[in-house]
Amino acid sequence: MSQTGGQSVRTRPAGSARALSEAYDTALLDLDGVVYAGGHAIAHAVDSLETARSGGMHLAYVTNNALRTPQAVAEHLTELGIPAEPSDVITSAQAVARLMSDQLPAGARVLVVGGEGLRVALRERGLEPVESADDAPVAVVQGFGGPELPWGRFAEACYAIARGVPWFASNTDLTIPSARGIAPGNGAAVEVVRIATGAEPQVAGKPLPPMHRETILRTGAERPLVVGDRLDTDIEGAFNGGVDSLLVLTGVTDGAALLAARPEHRPTYVDADLRGLLGGQPEVEPAEGGFACGGWSASVRGDALAVEGEGAALDGLRALCAVAWSEAGEGTCGLDGEKALARLGL
């Protein structure tokens, strides 16, 4: 680790002699790509989470998706074999509702462009959802509304924003995974309103501080570990919150993206899936010409990354991360890692 501007710049994944489920009191788990995908539990998720919970780790589920209520999310998790209560679920709808309630008077009318999760969160914070710009709203809030959200909702938001009311957004994820592939997320919908109005919303969701604040307030975590699959939301959110993170490779991030990660996108730990919670993490050590982890050593050869050895492919990836991040420093690594990743089968 090095220092720049008061922030630590991670130059290699960390090791842990203790199981992560013992070293941290709370796992702040992303859902899509971590716990489930396309409505089905990801391999090893159910058993891993049950083992972590039975060992005393508190599990909290943190999602940028503002469409569903915590009750609906908890019911879905329970159906998958992961017992959960609504209080275990934290959504960007809750984070944006708190952000708004800090700025608006109790009972204020808010024009909602989104789904039931957003309306429920607003009511919990003492705000009144309305449907039209002609209902005298004092603010506009936008959250993911699903594929059936009518186009006219964007027009209502634009009319109200043009009259000068503040605009809030639960999150700005451009995409969202679905059973059929990648679909437009709330960020894409936010761009529609941004283009039409020229305005800028206040955003609450990951990776921004309001979401981390909401999560800590609701969980009471003292030693939290963020667990996610996305560098630009989960891992950057952990970085912004000053807490450790575990990247699992069951979602959108692949080896190439990890090697090219900027400082705020570099996770503390890297593992294949949620089984990574149940054990320690291997140390990545300096070695001649580079770094070593397990049975692998990594180095720079010309304008490319190279890896040699044998053993668990993840150890080779960890060693490659150390070389790439050390070479990049405060920037991104431009060295070619394609052959090295292919050598690991990644």
Bridging pattern class, strands 285-287 and 290-293: antiparallel
Look at 140 and 182; give whichever has higher pLDDT. 140
Q: What pLDDT is stored for residue 5 in this prediction?
A: 43
Task: Check residue 42 and report its DSSP letter.
Answer: P
| Alpha-carbon span 222 to 253, nearest angstrom | 28
Look at 124 and 183; give whichever has higher pLDDT. 124
Q: What pLDDT is stored for residue 182 in this prediction?
A: 81
Query: How far are the Cα atoms of 255, 272, 318, 344, 346 from residue 339, in angstroms, in the given order?
Result: 12, 20, 16, 9, 10
286 with 319: CB under 8 angstroms? no
102 in active site: no
Joined together, the tokens standing for residue 100 give 């708004």
**pLDDT digits over 49-86, tens only?**
999 999 999 999 999 999 999 999 999 999 999 999 99
| Alpha-carbon span 282 to 269, nearest angstrom | 9
Joined together, the tokens standing for residue 40 give 């089905």
Of 25, 32, 232, 303, catalytic? 32
Joined together, the tokens standing for residue 210 give 């309001």
Joined together, the tokens standing for residue 287 give 């070695």
Least confident of 118-127, 146-155, 173-182: 173-182
74 with 89: CB under 8 angstroms? yes
Long-range contacts of 73-82, Cβ-Cβ distance < 8 Å, separation of 24 or more: 73/31, 76/36, 76/39, 77/35, 80/35, 80/36, 80/40, 80/41, 80/46, 81/41, 81/46, 81/50, 82/35, 82/41, 82/45, 82/46, 82/49, 82/50
Q: What pLDDT is stored for residue 176 in this prediction?
A: 83
Joined together, the tokens standing for residue 116 give 């039931």
Residue 246 C-beta-side C-alpha neighbours within 13 Å: 30
Map residue 8 onto helix, strand or coil.
strand
Closest CA to 65 of 35, 45, 41: 35
This prediction has a pTM of 0.93
Share of the chain above pLDDT 70, in %: 98
| Alpha-carbon span 189 to 139, nearest angstrom | 17
pLDDT at 6 over 60: no
303 in active site: no
pLDDT at 252 over 80: yes
Least confident of 18-27, 58-67, 180-189, 200-209: 180-189
